[in-house]
Amino acid sequence: MKNQRIIIFDTTLRDGEQCPGASMNLREKLEVARQLARLKVDVIEAGFPIISDGDFASVQTIAREIKGPKICGLARCVSKDIDAAGAALKPAGKRARIHVFLATSKIHREFKLGKAQDEIIRLAVEGVKRARALVDDVEFSPEDASRTEPDFLIQVCRAVVAAGASTVNIPDTVGFALPDQFGALIGQLFESVPEFKSGKAIISVHCHNDLGLAVANSLAAVRNGARQVECTINGIGERAGNASLEEVIMAMKTRRDFYTGIECGVVTREIVKSSRLVARMSGLAVQRNKAIVGENAFAHSAGIHQDGILKKRETYEIMNPVEVGWGTTELPLTKHSGRAAMAARLKHLGFQLADEELNAVFSRFKEIGDKKKFVYDDDLSALVEGQITEVNETWVLDYLSVSSGNQTVPTATVRLKKANGKHAELCQEAAIGDGPVDAALKAIDRLTRITGKLMDYSLRAVSQGKDALGEVTVKVDFGNKDLVTGKGASTDIIEASTRAYLNAVNRHMIMDKESRKTGRKCAQP
């Protein structure tokens, strides 16, 4: 195989964010986008501009702020979608890409669209031409391509390339394909469309993980001529997720003997940092045995394995963990560390904070420093990410007291500060519950008059030691279609839980306000 570069198209901020409970606010998306730029992905799909004012603003802000990668916005083959994407992407200039899509499979044509093949081709061509009038770089996706008749799929590819698409993405939208079958389909397209063979246009793939084959299908496609892979950090996405970026990258890098000549520009040492950031911003924890980025990925408990590793690492490790970003934490800070030292450490970790945000983080840093001996990088990241995940708060925690024990009725007293113009009023309430956390959350429900049903609760120690910072992530059902994620951190897990739930309440209030302005509607590859 000749020397070929694989374009890495990251859709964490678009398809990844569609995972239930994983929605991110603008600031969270911007931090993820900055990390993706440090990771040096080639394309960032920043969102779907037409679906909401928030998505439009996110794409527009990322297009303006992020330098390096191409910035992409998704659009249906509908004029208003395409125009919205073009407007949002305008700050990216020559780095802008519009990604238009239209379903092509028989089942979608008959039951979703009610359109014949010739009508599908006409709409696809019109969509590509309209996008091409706005930007130089247009990508087209025939949604549900893996279930589309191959002959018709070839017709669609030829038509959209002739209309101006420089990339044609072949989505396995419902995760139906098998590696041999999908690889053969990509090979057939490569041979049947002259522009793919000549290099004037490239084949991309976007694989879903419903059968656990997203990465395998993506790699099979690369072997058969695909030169762009669409993937997400940690494999997050609709339903069972997308092809995992870290697995695709490291499979090609580790098995260069098989993927001869294949290269990509990703900085692999940024992988673990990217994984952790996305996990925190999205509220989707990484399973311990997840390949590459899971905590157990390079852990060896069996005596035979440990003996082999000590004698020669390669006996049981096919990758060097340092290559993907695993390593020791830098020297920790203490409560005596000043604002400048903390700011320098944050800069090293890749965070960009305004002075007001830096002051807020420093205040929390001092609180944590008084409670524990050392503040490690992971502690600091959790504090910063806690600041990033904050929303315009209607309710702020002012005071918390709990009483609990095996012979005591768990009781919590919560005092909240409610924003009211230039003034803030204090409200206090007490409640009993099945435990101290339940009691605190019930008190918040009484104060805010918003009742949420806790659907998921996770707690993890951010760093080592008995005084480790606890990070709580909750998913709450407020009776809307989507679960709302909330996050909070403290050395006191009751306080962390209360902050996480209150974060979810504030998010719900903002989302509820926005939903009255515009509805969220999606049908994507």
Residue range 4-282 forms a domain whose CATH class is: alpha beta
In the chain, where the domains are located:
4-282, 297-327, 339-388, 395-515
395-515 is classed in which CATH architecture?
2-Layer Sandwich (3.30)
Instruction: Report the residue count for the chain.
Output: 525
> How many CB atoms sit inside 10 A of residue 96's CB?
23
In single-letter form, the type of residue at position 405 comes to G
Instruction: Return the pLDDT at 499.
Output: 93
| DSSP string of 55-99, one letter each residue | HHHHHHHHHHH--SSEEEEEEESSHHHHHHHHHHHGGGGGGEEEE
Phi-psi region of 325 (alpha: psi -120 to 50; beta: other; left: phi over 0): left
Instruction: Return the pLDDT at 483.
Output: 85
Instruction: Return the pLDDT at 1.
Output: 42
How many angstroms separate the CA atoms of 74 and 108, rounded? 19
Instruction: Return the pLDDT at 303.
Output: 53
Contact 172, 179 (CB under 8 A): no
Contact 232, 11 (CB under 8 A): yes
Burial class (CB in 10 A: 0-12, 13-18, 19+), 200: exposed
Cα 447 from chain centre: 33
How many angstroms separate the CA atoms of 485 and 385, rounded? 14
Half-sphere exposure of 153 (CA within 13 A, CB side): 27
Q: What is the pLDDT along the chain (525 residues), one digit of tens a residue?
A: 454 899 999 999 999 988 766 778 898 899 999 999 999 999 999 999 999 898 999 999 999 999 999 999 999 999 999 999 999 999 999 999 999 999 999 999 999 999 999 999 999 999 999 999 999 999 999 999 999 999 999 999 999 999 999 999 999 999 999 999 999 999 999 999 999 999 999 999 999 999 999 999 999 999 999 999 999 999 999 999 999 999 999 999 999 999 999 999 999 999 999 999 999 888 888 998 999 999 888 875 445 544 565 566 677 678 888 899 987 556 678 888 888 888 888 887 878 888 888 998 898 888 888 888 788 888 888 888 777 766 666 898 999 999 999 889 999 999 999 876 666 789 999 999 999 999 999 999 999 999 999 999 999 888 777 778 888 999 999 987 778 888 898 989 999 999 999 999 998 988 777 666 655 444 457
Q: Which pLDDT tens digit goes with each residue over 364-392?
A: 888 888 888 788 888 888 888 777 766 66
Contact 429, 443 (CB under 8 A): yes
Burial class (CB in 10 A: 0-12, 13-18, 19+), 412: buried
